[in-house]
């Protein structure tokens, strides 16, 4: 073969190698997560001497609470009810009340301000999953009421209640002596046990998943633990537990996830994520205190609202695993609320709807 033909073949062969390499190696750039503010509501401009009311029609609404303001918004960021409350507030997505520590009864209002019912007891109301609870002043008992005001059940212990959460059909209660108790919707005890394993027994945070029949808690001081229990057919057993580094001495957030089969919880080193199938815990380092956890199921994104010294940050995780962004800000009080295409961010006297996109 002549030298010139050899050179031409080498050139063609080299070009083919480069072309194949480019086809295999070049990939489209991954789209980046972007925040797109849609609308901001200034609450102080809505509220004067009287609360702000507006008919929501058939639009779904959600409740919110900040340090001074509370009320309801629609998911397209229209205010329905906004008020400045003087003492304390408890809200669910259908009813609300403003109260103080000396109240001898609890007046429960509908979203439009009309009276729903009166709960004839002193204490501290807590509304969740359309259920009406009141924690009694002595701190060691809780009552549930029907929506027409009649007492449904009462559960008490000699030790103070330190953690509480509920589903539509059950509730889970943690006590200062380390007891963890689960009740059905009629107040009947489904199980009760003491996790133990720590030098000082106390339940710091709890949550319950009624569909999967799972309960989770963070408990103990000095050898603090995360515990996952299963229950059913009048039986309860610990299916997974792990000791945690350090010991928090405050109430902590514990929340079952829906994006994945996990439990989120606050621990000394940050955000704990416990896999309920693999029985494995991963820790995301955070210096802040976790205040709230929300999930955007349609996007597979978990939002974690955390705070330290009025410096707040919203962490975003994809598939309950990969950190994909954060949004820092400064405020005295804040909240987040997940919706299908993004989330609401409230801080002090403003609420903003933020759309999440990938570009």
For residue range 27-80, list pLDDT tens digits in order.
Answer: 554 567 788 999 999 999 999 878 999 988 888 899 999 999 999 999 999 999
Cβ distance 257 to 295 under 8 Å? yes
- How far is 225 from 79, CA to CA, in rounded Å? 42
Q: What is the pLDDT of residue 172?
A: 97
Q: Give tens-digit pLDDT for 277-333.
A: 999 999 999 999 999 999 999 999 999 999 999 999 999 999 888 889 899 999 999
For the chain, give me the number of helices (H) and strands (E)? 2, 32
Q: What is the pLDDT of residue 301?
A: 95
Which residues contact residue 334 at a Cβ distance below 8 angstroms, ignoring those fewer than 6 apart?
66, 291, 305, 307, 312, 345, 346, 347, 348
Q: What is the pLDDT of residue 6?
A: 52
Q: Among 265, 275, 259, which residue's Cα sits nearest to residue 320?
A: 259
How is the chain split among helix, strand and coil, in percent rounded to 5?
A: 10, 55, 35
Mean pLDDT across the chain, nearest whole number?
91
Q: What is the pLDDT of residue 302?
A: 96
Tokens 């027409």 sit on residue: 148
Cβ distance 216 to 206 under 8 Å? yes
Rg of the chain (C-alpha set): 26
Is pLDDT at 10 greater than 60 in this prediction?
Answer: no
Q: What is the pLDDT of residue 89?
A: 95
Is pLDDT at 143 greater than 60 in this prediction?
Answer: yes
């Amino acid at each position: 073969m002549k030298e010139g033909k050899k050179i031409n073949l080498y050139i063609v062969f080299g070009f083919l190698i480069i072309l194949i390499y480019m086809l295999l190696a070049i990939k489209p750039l991954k789209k980046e997560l972007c925040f797109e503010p849609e609308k901001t509501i200034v609450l102080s401009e809505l509220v004067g001497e009287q609360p702000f009311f507006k008919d929501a029609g058939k639009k779904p609404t959600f409740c919110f609470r900040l340090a001074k303001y509370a009320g309801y918004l629609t998911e397209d960021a229209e205010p329905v009810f906004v008020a400045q409350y003087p003492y304390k507030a408890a809200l669910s997505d259908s009813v609300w009340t403003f109260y103080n520590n000396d109240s001898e009864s609890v007046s429960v209002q509908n979203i439009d301000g009309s009276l729903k019912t009166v709960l004839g007891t002193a204490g501290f109301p807590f509304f969740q999953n359309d259920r009406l609870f009141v924690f009694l002043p002595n701190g060691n008992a809780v009552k549930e009421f029907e929506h027409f005001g009649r007492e449904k059940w009462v559960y008490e212990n000699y030790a103070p209640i330190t953690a509480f959460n509920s589903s539509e059909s059950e509730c889970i209660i943690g006590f200062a002596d380390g007891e963890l108790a689960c009740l059905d919707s009629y107040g009947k005890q489904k199980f009760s046990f003491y996790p133990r394993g720590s030098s000082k027994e106390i339940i710091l945070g709890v949550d319950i998943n009624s569909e999967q029949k799972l309960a989770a808690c963070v408990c103990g001081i000095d050898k603090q633990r995360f515990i996952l229990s299963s229950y059913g057919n009048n039986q309860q057993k610990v299916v997974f537990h792990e000791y945690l580094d350090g010991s928090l001495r405050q109430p902590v957030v514990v929340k079952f996830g829906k994006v994945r089969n996990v439990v989120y919880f606050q621990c000394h080193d940050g955000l704990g994520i416990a896999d309920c199938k693999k029985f494995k815990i991963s820790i995301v380092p955070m210096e802040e205190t976790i205040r709230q956890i929300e999930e955007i199921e349609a996007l597979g994104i978990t939002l974690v609202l955390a705070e330290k010294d009025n410096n707040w940050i919203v962490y975003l995780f994809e598939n309950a695993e990969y950190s994909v962004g954060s949004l820092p800000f400064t405020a005295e009080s804040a909240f987040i609320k997940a919706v299908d295409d993004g989330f609401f961010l409230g801080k002090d006297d403003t609420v903003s709807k933020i759309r999440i996109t990938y570009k």
